[in-house]
Structure 1
Amino acid sequence: MQQSDGVAWGITESVGRIVLKRHEYANTLSHAASQALIQAINSVLDQQPRVVLLAAEGKIFCAGGDIAEFAAAGPALADLVDDILEPLHPALYRLATAPMPVISVLNGPIGGAGIGLALCADFVLAAQSVKLRTGYAALGLSPDLGASYFLARRVGAIRAQQWLMLSQTISAQDCLTHGVVDALYPEDELTQAAEDLATRLSQSARASLTSIKTLCSGLPARDLHTHLQLEHQFLTACARRTDAQEGIHAFFERRAPRFTGN
């Protein structure tokens, strides 16, 4: 694993891993940590793993931006924010739209920019200690890193707006009930659950998962006619692959398929 400024990353067994390691600072995204996160995202995605797993050390997944750094910036706060977000947002976009499944593993509370980082994933697994607190309005700020977008995508625009405006703390059970997270696990079971899911996805047909992600992520903006054309295009392309032949043979032979990515 490579490491820089509180972020570690690497590829093991076709699973890309990005780990926040500033646990002594609640894994906040300082200017330096943001630069390291950009490097981590680009390095991992450039290697085209079959799955990306996003996790953090400590008891808090990510509390958002580094408020101490914000305070130190004083009147230059806007310049600091601009310097952080101008390169970070494109990297976040690349991660959110990556062709392979992305899994986030929330080992504790999330807040501010941590919400966008956590919820840009396709699968969000959380410990029972997870909590959500937006915090932006309490600081007189507005959302970043897609926090408003990804939260609204999961809980609905009106509920997301209310939560963001009130900066209220949302409990683990409410996070599960409203779809912020996909599953809750005891602390000592979370890591294994995430590893099991990553392994399962890494053994799937790459083109199949990419097609599914592209089809679903484009809704509801895409009209039915365009969507059906895209389904036709993707299914034809998948059918040309040897993975499709393997999947069909495995079905009739009543065994697990052995996909190779071809």
Structure 2
Amino acid sequence: MTEAVGVEVRDRVAILTLSREHAGNAIDQEMADGLLEAAQTCETDERVRAVLLTGQGRSFCVGGDVKAFAAAGSGAPELVRKLTGSLHAAMALLARMDKPLVTAVNGAAAGAGFGLAILGDVALAARSAKFAMAYGAIGLTPDAGATWLLPRLVGFRMAQELALTGTRIDATEAERIGLITRAVDDESLLVEARSLATKLAHSPRRAFAHTRALLHQSSSNDFETQLALEAAGIAYAIGQPEGQEGISAFVARRPPDFTQV
């Protein structure tokens, strides 16, 4: 495992930390590969039931390593293709795995860092955090899922403005427009994020995985299709160990224990 992405498993939560503090956690190939390896570990490690992604130091992630792009010269297109290949594969795993994702945005989130920040099922941000698409300022186009996530979170018009003007917004504004779930005091960020991730880790993992899938599919399905998927999903879930444990616990008026089923 690379030092560019720290991985710690605590109380069924995998804490992934972007760890190039000296570079604002800018994404180079080592970090992109490390994030993919970490995501693969999270997907297959049965100890892990939820994932928390944050950054080391004052920045969450300032985007791609622009200095590396410049140094690559004419080889920059191939460098970017390889880097985004690893980064996007990692993000797809984090988005689709049967374990919920919490993002804790501890500082600046720009470029690809913007996409990573808003990928969480729950996205918390320190009040000092800043968000910007930033691509246009250096003549580039978005990556890291931003053009898929952003319109779904804030609406098409707001997505156009953020993407094309490069407007930088703070965490309070990000919460107001629905870009993130909640802004929290800087000193409380990791405490709240870990608490939330731990709560999710003790929730019905497979039911939540199907819920994530339903939400992702909802914008491309018609109403009747979504109803059919919901009906099939709940009928399946009620016959599974999680559903049986949840119902038994409800009837017995005791807390359910989903970690053992």
TM-score range relative to shorter protein: over 0.9
CA contact (8 A) 2:58 2:107 kept: yes
Partner residue of 1:245? Answer: 244
- 1:182 and 2:181 correspond: yes
Over aligned residue pairs, what C-alpha RMSD do you find? Answer: 1.6
CA contact (8 A) 2:127 2:185 kept: yes
Looking at structure 2, the residues matched to 242 and 66 of structure 1 have their Cα atoms a distance apart, in angstroms, of 46
Identity %: 33
Q: Report the CA distance between 1:20 and its aligned residue.
A: 0.5
Q: Report the CA distance between 1:261 and its aligned residue.
A: 5.3
CA contact (8 A) 2:43 2:98 kept: no
Looking at structure 2, the residues matched to 207 and 37 of structure 1 have their Cα atoms a distance apart, in angstroms, of 23
Partner residue of 2:26? Answer: 28
* Residue identity in the other structure for 1:25: A
* Residue identity in the other structure for 1:88: L
With CA pairs under 8 Å and 6+ residues apart, which has the higher RCO, 1 or 2? 2
Looking at structure 2, the residues matched to 250 and 35 of structure 1 have their Cα atoms a distance apart, in angstroms, of 42
Looking at structure 2, the residues matched to 45 and 249 of structure 1 have their Cα atoms a distance apart, in angstroms, of 29
CA contact (8 A) 2:127 2:170 kept: no
Looking at structure 2, the residues matched to 224 and 261 of structure 1 have their Cα atoms a distance apart, in angstroms, of 35
Partner residue of 1:56? Answer: 55
* Residue identity in the other structure for 1:179: G
Deviations 1:2-41 (A, max 9, x none): x514111243322122111111110000122212111111
Q: Report the CA distance between 1:99 and its aligned residue.
A: 2.0
Partner residue of 2:200? Answer: 201
Q: Which runs of 5+ in 1 are unaligned?
A: none
* Residue identity in the other structure for 2:224: H
Q: Report the CA distance between 1:167 and its aligned residue.
A: 1.2
Partner residue of 1:11? Answer: 9
Looking at structure 2, the residues matched to 167 and 215 of structure 1 have their Cα atoms a distance apart, in angstroms, of 31
Q: How does 1:220-231 map to 2 (within 5 A)?
A: 220-231=219-230
Q: Which runs of 5+ in 2 are unaligned?
A: none
1:81 aligns to what SS in structure 2?
A: helix
Q: Report the CA distance between 1:117 and its aligned residue.
A: 1.2
State the TM-score, normalizing by the size of structure 2. Answer: 0.94
Return 102-111 or 245-254, whichever deviates more: 245-254
State the TM-score, normalizing by the size of structure 1. Answer: 0.93
